[in-house]
Amino acid sequence: MGSSVPRNFLDLPVEVQLLVFANLDCARDLRALALSCKKLHSAVDSDGWRHFVERSFPSLSIPVAGGNRHTWKQLAESLTWQSRCWDRRALQFQVLLHSPHGDNVPRHRANMRRNAGYKSLFHSVVDAHFDPATHQELVVWGAGEDVVARYRERQGGGKPSKSSWHRINGKELGFKAAYDDVNSIKIISHHTGRAIVTGRHNGTLSLISAEPDHFGEPISELKFTPSYATDTTDTSEPDNVSSLDVLQHGGKTRIAAATRNSLLIYDLPEDNASELEPSATFDLKTEIFSLNSSRLSRARWMEQGETIALALSGSPDPLRYLSLTPTGITHHTAAKNASIAAQFELKNNGNICPNSLEPVYRNGGSKTSLLLSAWRDGTIRLQDLRTPSPFDAVYQDNVDPWVDAEALMTYGADRFIAGGGDGLTVKIFDFRWDKPYQHTSGLPCLNRTPFPAPSQAFLKNPASSIFGIEKCRQGLACHYHEFSKHIYYRPNAKFYLSRSLINSSASIWSFARGSDISPNFYIGISGGVIEANLEPCPNNYPPDQPTTDPNFGFSDWRGRTADGSGYMSRQVSPALMEIGDGYAYKHNDRPILLPKLKDCGGPPGWKGSQLALSKHHRLDMNYQMDGDFI
């Protein structure tokens, strides 16, 4: 006789059950399945949550669950929570500003000193690292000639985190302001523990300890002979370190340092060395540059170290890449996609924003040839370096299309952050690819389209061509669930931060996040650092429950700075504007109706139907108004 046909879900092979787990629309459904019986509870706990996370967030780098710090269920809880915050624009901000007396300074006296130019505004470059195994976070930034670090360890259970501040005083070490400023900074894992690589304007590269007990102690000096040193006819400025990028893969650490005329590659040894020579040097002045005005501005590792992307200033082909082969280094001009240039009317390459190169990872790995870059015509371009690909695209702020983005930061292939061209303004862009996870799938059915209606300059409302039903049924979605997935109802957003800061001329210079699962990120600005946290507005103050990420958030992130840190903390009150679907359009030079600017208003006093519908609102409660529900 043949094999018996399974009578219920429990009798299905494990492989089939896992397919079901992975393709559930929301974590709520998987949780309900786990609560149905002991056998399914065990199956969901052992494999179900892992498959759900991997299917729902395929482009993020997800740490393997294990130990007692986090489980796959907790990863699913945090990642779905974070996705909802991103989509609803639930972001809060706090600034850390340089002040010799820290938070002990009264606000009005601090304002007077800032207005009087108490300290020249350095351009802060920032990096961060979060260890999911220990829940320790380290954020470091170059503050002029100084290096500042803050350590923080999450305790959980609503307990305050353990934190400490450390600083390298550049003046005490003989460094001078401006000439010896830190231009680039990176955190790495080293056999001695955590370490920091710093590149200064004066051309020095240093590897120093980042362990709290040995912070700032020198480990190695990374040596190089700049190309101008052998050219007696060159009287221009010396080679300063414009960018650093670190590749840690397979137990090895490689550093790519960009100067004005050279690219230097260092392979860190397993043991300490007081001085380290580059393992490879590429002289761009002789190999690439045909004009003396051309210079290298940034270098980023790609393809697991097989390729290095380059941003050049003053070059007719400003985007290049180097291929690293066993026989040497060869350079190439990035592939041009004629169909993309025609679609978005890219008349010429123009000039690239030098600090904007960001690799885009679609499968959560470390191998990619997709690169995001910002350009002086206001576009942000995604392209495959080697060949034109179907993923090539051009993005733009549809409201203010000519503003440059000096800095970019990607979150896998889900979204990217841009800023720098128009003061303290942070923009959140969606890549506009199909998303395997939508937080709206977990909400009850609703017989109406998402609200309030977005302001879209060029995208057509799909309501006339797509039809939904009152309630979801097999194969058909209700009005709300059908339309909430459409990009028309998911416009990009821009946060204005300058109105609550003293120095209105400050700008954004860098972004950093601790990991892909971190619910916060950092913004390097003129004179300090801004911490941005995913955090929904509570129903009331004080909140009934913690409002930060339940597994990876720091509930006391708004706390005062430590005494002696040299910094003071101030909450930033953002204003929000939605800026269209984000694609570049040929006719984006015509006047459009300016969308409303929404102030961060706090929890409204909702009653009745408004309270019931508040979760269906497209935006966080901070930005909800009475008129939105009519």
Is it the case that residue 347 has pLDDT exceeding 50? yes
For the segment 467-496, the average pLDDT, to the nearest whole number, is 90
Tens digit of each residue's pLDDT (9 = 90 or more) over 376-403:
989 999 999 989 888 899 999 999 998 9
d(CA 489, CA 580): 10
Q: What are phi and psi of 197, to 5 degrees?
A: -105, 125
Is it the case that residue 579 has pLDDT exceeding 90? yes
- The pLDDT value recorded for residue 229 is 44
147 within 8 A of 198, measured Cβ to Cβ: yes
Tens digit of each residue's pLDDT (9 = 90 or more) over 432-469:
888 899 999 999 999 999 999 998 888 888 876 677 78
For the segment 31-35, the average pLDDT, to the nearest whole number, is 88
621 within 8 A of 547, measured Cβ to Cβ: no
Length of the chain measured in residues: 630
For the segment 321-342, the average pLDDT, to the nearest whole number, is 89
For the segment 339-344, the average pLDDT, to the nearest whole number, is 86
Task: Say what the pTM is.
Answer: 0.93
> pLDDT class for 18, splitting at 50, 70, 90?
confident
User: Of 328, 615, 322, which Cα lies nearest the Cα of 443?
Assistant: 615
Is it the case that residue 179 has pLDDT exceeding 60? yes
As given in the structure block, the two tokens for residue 426 are 């942070």
197 within 8 A of 207, measured Cβ to Cβ: yes
Those residues with Cβ within 8 angstroms of residue 483's Cβ, 6 or more apart along the chain or in another chain = 449, 450, 462, 463, 466, 468, 489
Tens digit of each residue's pLDDT (9 = 90 or more) over 229-242:
444 445 445 578 88
For the segment 3-18, the average pLDDT, to the nearest whole number, is 72
For the segment 40-45, the average pLDDT, to the nearest whole number, is 86
For the segment 15-32, the average pLDDT, to the nearest whole number, is 84
Chain mean pLDDT for the chain: 87
d(CA 557, CA 93): 10
- In the chain, % of residues over pLDDT 70: 91
9-13, 32-36, 342-346, 392-396: range with lowest mean pLDDT? 9-13
For the segment 288-306, the average pLDDT, to the nearest whole number, is 82
For the segment 470-475, the average pLDDT, to the nearest whole number, is 86
- Residue of higher predicted confidence among 11 and 283: 283
For the segment 525-538, the average pLDDT, to the nearest whole number, is 94
For the segment 137-154, the average pLDDT, to the nearest whole number, is 96
Q: Count Cα neighbours of 405 within 13 Å in the Cβ-side half-sphere.
A: 29
d(CA 441, CA 480): 9
β-pairing verdict for 393-395 and 380-384: antiparallel
- The pLDDT value recorded for residue 113 is 37
- The pLDDT value recorded for residue 292 is 57
d(CA 373, CA 408): 8
Tens digit of each residue's pLDDT (9 = 90 or more) over 52-86:
999 999 999 999 887 667 899 999 999 999 999 99
- The pLDDT value recorded for residue 274 is 85
User: Of 395, 401, 358, which Cα lies nearest the Cα of 380?
Assistant: 395
What one-letter code names the amino acid at 227? Answer: S
CB count in 10 Å sphere of residue 330: 12
What one-letter code names the amino acid at 427? Answer: K
> pLDDT class for 157, splitting at 50, 70, 90?
confident
> pLDDT class for 341, splitting at 50, 70, 90?
confident
**113-119: which pairs have CB atoms within 8 A and are 24 or more residues apart?**
114/502, 114/503, 114/527, 115/502, 119/527
Is it the case that residue 372 has pLDDT exceeding 50? yes
> pLDDT class for 7, splitting at 50, 70, 90?
low
Is it the case that residue 191 has pLDDT exceeding 50? yes
As given in the structure block, the two tokens for residue 480 are 């709300």
Domain ranges of the chain: 9-86, 223-341
CA angle 162, 164, 170 (to 5 degrees): 165
Is it the case that residue 112 has pLDDT exceeding 60? no
For the segment 25-35, the average pLDDT, to the nearest whole number, is 89
Is 223-341 assigned to CATH 2.40.128?
Answer: yes
Q: Residue holding tokens 């990176």?
A: 186
Tens digit of each residue's pLDDT (9 = 90 or more) over 82-111:
999 999 999 999 999 988 777 765 544 444
